[in-house]
Amino acid sequence: MKKASICTIGDEILIGQIVDTNSSHISRALGSLGIRVVRMISIGDVREEIISTLDNELKTNDIVIATGGLGPTKDDITKDALAELSGAGGYIKNEEQEAIVHRILKSRGLDILDINLRQAMVPDSCEVIPNRMGTAPIMVFRFPEERYGHPATLFSLPGVPYEALGALPDILNDIEGHYKLDGITHRTIMTYGLAESALSKLIEPWETSLPADMHLAYLPNQITGVRLRLSVYGGDKQEALKRIDERIEALKPLLGDNIYAYSDSSLQAEIKELMCSRGLTLSVAESCTGGEIAHLLTTVPGASGYFLGSVTSYAIPVKEKVLAVPDSAISENGVVSSQVAAAMAEGVRRLTGSDYAVSTTGLAGPGGDDRNPEGTVWIGVSGPRGTKTFTYRYRNDRLRNIERFAATSLDTLRRFVLSDIND
Amino acid sequence: MKKASICTIGDEILIGQIVDTNSSHISRALGSLGIRVVRMISIGDVREEIISTLDNELKTNDIVIATGGLGPTKDDITKDALAELSGAGGYIKNEEQEAIVHRILKSRGLDILDINLRQAMVPDSCEVIPNRMGTAPIMVFRFPEERYGHPATLFSLPGVPYEALGALPDILNDIEGHYKLDGITHRTIMTYGLAESALSKLIEPWETSLPADMHLAYLPNQITGVRLRLSVYGGDKQEALKRIDERIEALKPLLGDNIYAYSDSSLQAEIKELMCSRGLTLSVAESCTGGEIAHLLTTVPGASGYFLGSVTSYAIPVKEKVLAVPDSAISENGVVSSQVAAAMAEGVRRLTGSDYAVSTTGLAGPGGDDRNPEGTVWIGVSGPRGTKTFTYRYRNDRLRNIERFAATSLDTLRRFVLSDIND
């Protein structure tokens, strides 16, 4: 299996001014070719550091992808470092890139300065892939087996994300043209409702029985739950898929409806499918989650196909006036109670005329009250067959509690609608 | 100046499934102590790789911060690697962390399994900082000068972002307690309403006139706007603060009310202060932002002191029925229009009886309509002195557009309330 390393060059990432998003895109792209990324490194605009780091990575990897440090200004010195690393005899002009520089600056109504034209000059030791989205060319340095004990390729990409990602298809084509690749085959299983530790305990016998060439990864997330990724490297893709699917079949009875999808997905995306495919509509009444449930639902394009709307009744009068929560329910049980959660769900369902509704009332913190400790939430779900409530307790900070409350509400709704359908 | 390296451990970053956001937070935190981060590295859950990488980084750095690989499951092997690297004699139980493990699992209604308790076991070669937000302890390994030619400290943090960031204050305290630091003095100025490039052009003369030892950093963010950080390394802290404040005074007239705070803050935190300090109340009517505005407002503790509630009227009937938007406003002008934005803000203000209200109607994408291109938003603000509307256009993907719509709505509300107050 081919190995790769990704190096981002530039002080702005090192000092934490910007987050490096290029590396994860590049890694996923390489992964789709079955190339394993073994290291990601961020270094500053320091010539010696750039040379020694890239030289080191080329020793142990087939492919090294460097991004950044190609701007026109003085502090960008990656190109000189690459010239030295690759033993270039000098610089030559790349006509194609120069034409692009002229076109881009003209389109921006800018004068063409020497420092701009210098961007089209490249070390004579590299091949050039034109960068149509920016002024800095994409450089490809191919090192013969003698240099590092194996054929190695170094790609230099601009750091600007849309230029770097724009270059990826050309990079992948170049790699496929020069390397014999064994693919990777994997499936993702989305689960919600079990903590990572409980999940791994539950499936331990199944996990230990996996063949040696099959790898399981746990990828936990506050909002999507624990994502399981089952991978096989190399071999025949169809055969590998068949073997993975057999294992997933054996996994299903162990996890039951804790599994909500068999591909990369989210609770809100699955709810949209569930509702839209059956022409069902949804409304939401939020208190402690303060709009996060509606926000998550509406991050999915096409949410308007089933999501009618929501009421965030943060103040008690809004609960009573807009959602018609009886003040007796509040005075007798408190705002954070099963009765209020139920009344909120029924209230917003009445108000909007939706088929289903979900509601939350709880204490995200800081601080709880005499009845309920911090992190307590009551969730109400209401539909054609009636209303149910559930309570959970989490022990995170305010923001994480809000996220968990919202995610668990989506999961509760999902299970509630499914149980209606499967009846 | 002390040097540091940040290493993230875990396959999920390497395969590009998640983006590493911890490193930039940690880097900024270390920067605030005047510690320079010279490398960030991501590696997988491979024992030898973890040991050799950390060993290498400790050779050239005073401080190495490792995050991740501390989960309870089989694929997390960082702790064993650290035990070997530090020459531990064995594992010992950390009572304090074990108590936390019990408390957290109990509060989540989970059984306490051996693999959970194993998380409280640490190599006898480390000191422990209890992790109150999760089950994995924070481990501190101190290497004497003989080992690497300089005293070196290795911190091992959980990879879960809110646990890693939650541990940062303790880490910074530990570093300040064990190292003599040059110290750094800085102030943060929060701005909204100007893009980074426009901002830098506007303040260029001011910026070029800064003394050589004063550094300006631009820290742009979708939701908080552009954060300006003015820093001075070393020297007397009081003196440095005085000099920084003089420069900030000169900056004020250039930026006017694009500045919304003079310390790390957020639009929602400033709005809370603005409203609560004057006993004002707020309600929100959302369409395209789908709950994000209410969510942002309620991420601030004490939001219930002024925020009454919100209506997310995603479907037209909900706009008409709940917010009493006249259907003529919709039929004559379309849903994405000044008239509908105004009617939504006035409607929710009437419904909740709040002093102020803000509303959004727009197209986050994908796709626009015949009247409005993708990324168009109309924002309505309504208060005791009347109603105003504003329109903006952004060119991001759906999620970014929703964030920008919401942030700009908060900024529009802030300016609207301030203009009332300052009249």
H-type alpha helices, B303-397: 316-321, 327-333, 338-352
DSSP-derived secondary structure letter, A130: -
Q: Which of A137, A282, A259 is nearest to A187 (CA)?
A: A259
A246 vs B341: CA distance, rounded Å: 54
CB contact at 8 A, B205 and B216: no
DSSP-derived secondary structure letter, B137: P
* A288-to-A16, A317, A341, A400 alpha-carbon distances in Å: 32, 15, 11, 12
Q: Which of B405, B292, B293 is nearest to A298 (CA)?
A: B292
Local structure of B306: helix, strand or coil: coil
Confidence tier at B126 by pLDDT (50, 70, 90): very high
> How close A149 gets to chain B, by Cα (Å)?
20
HSE (side-chain half, CA atoms, 13 Å) at B211: 10
Q: Name the residue of chain A whose CA is nearest to B37's CA.
A: A14
Give yes or no for residue A73 having a pLDDT over 80. no
The pLDDT score that the predictor gives to residue A183 is: 73
Give yes or no for residue A305 having a pLDDT over 70. yes
Convert B122-151 to b/e letters by CB count within 10 Å (16 or more is b). bbebbebbbbbbbbbbbbbbebeeeebeee
Give yes or no for residue B32 having a pLDDT over 70. yes
Contact B298 A312 (CB under 8 A): yes
> How close A93 gets to chain B, by Cα (Å)?
30
Confidence tier at B109 by pLDDT (50, 70, 90): confident
Give yes or no for residue A15 having a pLDDT over 90. no
Which residue type, as a one-letter code, is found at position A74? K
Which residue type, as a one-letter code, is found at position B380? G
Query: Who contacts A153 (Cβ-Cβ below 8 Å, separation ≥6)?
Result: A62, A63, A64, A140, A141, A142, A143, A174, A175, A178
A/B interface, count of CB pairs below 8 Å: 272
The pLDDT score that the predictor gives to residue B356 is: 98
Give yes or no for residue B274 having a pLDDT over 80. yes
B98 vs B118: CA distance, rounded Å: 9
The two structure tokens encoding residue B274: 């603005």
Count of H-run helices and E-run strands, chain A: 17, 17
Least CB–CB distance from B39: residue in A23, A43, A289? A43
Give yes or no for residue A74 having a pLDDT over 70. no
Q: What residues of A are in contact with residue B301 (Cβ under 8 Å)?
A: 365-366, 398
Q: What residues of B are in contact with residue A311 (Cβ under 8 Å)?
A: 309-312, 322
- Give me chain A's average pLDDT, please: 92
Cis peptide before B72 (omega within 30 of 0): no
Residue to mutate among A1, A5, A11, A17, with most B CBs inside 10 A, is A17
Confidence tier at B112 by pLDDT (50, 70, 90): confident
Give yes or no for residue B114 having a pLDDT over 80. yes
- As a whole number of Å, the end-to-end CA separation of chain B is 50
The pLDDT score that the predictor gives to residue A75 is: 62
H-type alpha helices, A61-132: 78-85, 95-107, 114-117
Considering Cα of A200, then A226, then B14, then B129, what sign does the dihedral take? negative
**Which residues sit opposite A123 in a β-bridge?**
A91
Give yes or no for residue A140 having a pLDDT over 90. yes
CB atoms within 10 A of CB B179: 14
> How close B278 gets to chain A, by Cα (Å)?
18
Query: Who contacts B170 (Cβ-Cβ below 8 Å, separation ≥6)?
Result: B129, B138
Angle (CA) A192 A196 A202, round 5°: 90
Q: Which residue has the higher pLDDT, A313 or A28?
A: A313
DSSP-derived secondary structure letter, A240: H
Angle (CA) B193 B199 B202, round 5°: 120
Considering chain A, what percentage of its residues have pLDDT values greater than 90? 70
> Which structural domains are found in chain A, ordered by start?
3-178 (3.40.980.10), 184-261 (3.30.70.2860), 267-422 (3.90.950.20)
Local structure of B212: helix, strand or coil: coil
Task: Choose from A70-74, A162-166, B284-288, B418-422 the range with maximum mean pLDDT.
Answer: B284-288
Q: What residues of A are in contact with residue B111 (Cβ under 8 Å)?
A: 198
> How close A40 gets to chain B, by Cα (Å)?
5
Which residue type, as a one-letter code, is found at position A260? Y
Q: Which of A182-186, B31-35, B37-41, B97-101 has the lowest mean pLDDT?
A: A182-186
Give yes or no for residue A298 having a pLDDT over 80. yes
CB atoms within 10 A of CB A290: 30
Stated pTM of the model: 0.75
Angle (CA) A278 A283 A286, round 5°: 145
Convert A385-400 to b/e letters by CB count within 10 Å (16 or more is b). eebbbbebbbbbbbbb
Contact B309 A312 (CB under 8 A): yes
Contact A318 B352 (CB under 8 A): yes
A177 vs B348: CA distance, rounded Å: 60
Local structure of A40: helix, strand or coil: strand
CB contact at 8 A, A139 and A123: yes
Phi/psi zone of residue B155: left (φ > 0), alpha (ψ -120 to 50 degrees), beta?
beta
Considering chain A, what percentage of its residues have pLDDT values greater than 70? 98
A385 vs A396: CA distance, rounded Å: 34
Question: What integer is the mean pLDDT of B110-124?
Answer: 89
- Can you tell me which residue has the tokens 């009247």? B371
**Which residues sit opposite A389 in a β-bridge?**
A380
A261 vs A274: CA distance, rounded Å: 11
Question: What integer is the mean pLDDT of B267-281?
Answer: 97
The two structure tokens encoding residue B339: 């008239």
The pLDDT score that the predictor gives to residue A288 is: 96
Q: Which of A37, A128, A38, A117 is nearest to A82 (CA)?
A: A128
- Can you tell me which residue has the tokens 């950044």? A68
What residue ranges in B225-322 does DSSP mark as E strands? 225-233, 259-261, 282-286, 307-313
A391 vs A379: CA distance, rounded Å: 6
ipTM over cut 0.85: no
A358 vs A409: CA distance, rounded Å: 7
Confidence tier at A169 by pLDDT (50, 70, 90): confident
The pLDDT score that the predictor gives to residue A79 is: 93
Angle (CA) B38 B44 B50, round 5°: 65
- Can you tell me which residue has the tokens 């693919």? A183
The pLDDT score that the predictor gives to residue B250 is: 97
Q: Name the residue of chain B whose CA is nearest to A207's CA.
A: B74
* B277-to-B270, B273, B311, B348 alpha-carbon distances in Å: 10, 6, 25, 23
- Can you tell me which residue has the tokens 């973890």? B50
H-type alpha helices, B44-94: 47-60, 78-85
Query: Who contacts A253 (Cβ-Cβ below 8 Å, separation ≥6)?
Result: none
H-type alpha helices, A203-266: 204-208, 237-255
The pLDDT score that the predictor gives to residue A219 is: 76
> How close B10 gets to chain A, by Cα (Å)?
10
Contact B110 A15 (CB under 8 A): no
Q: Which of A20, A18, A139, A162 is nearest to A85 (CA)?
A: A139
**How do residues B147-174 score in pLDDT, each as one tens digit?**
999 999 999 999 988 889 888 889 999 9
Contact A16 B25 (CB under 8 A): yes
Q: Which of A34-43, B104-113, B281-290, B308-317 has the lowest mean pLDDT?
A: B104-113
Q: Name the residue of chain A whose CA is nearest to B290's CA.
A: A295
Q: What residues of B are in contact with residue A394 (Cβ under 8 Å)?
A: 107-108
* A308-to-A304, B181, B319 alpha-carbon distances in Å: 7, 56, 10
Q: What residues of B are in contact with residue A318 (Cβ under 8 Å)?
A: 283, 308-309, 351-352
**How do residues A214-255 score in pLDDT, each as one tens digit?**
988 777 778 899 989 898 887 888 999 999 999 999 999 999
DSSP-derived secondary structure letter, A333: H
Q: What residues of A are in contact with residue B295 (Cβ under 8 Å)?
A: 289-292, 295, 402
Query: Who contacts A68 (Cβ-Cβ below 8 Å, separation ≥6)?
Result: A8, A9, A10, A13, A78, A157, A158, A159
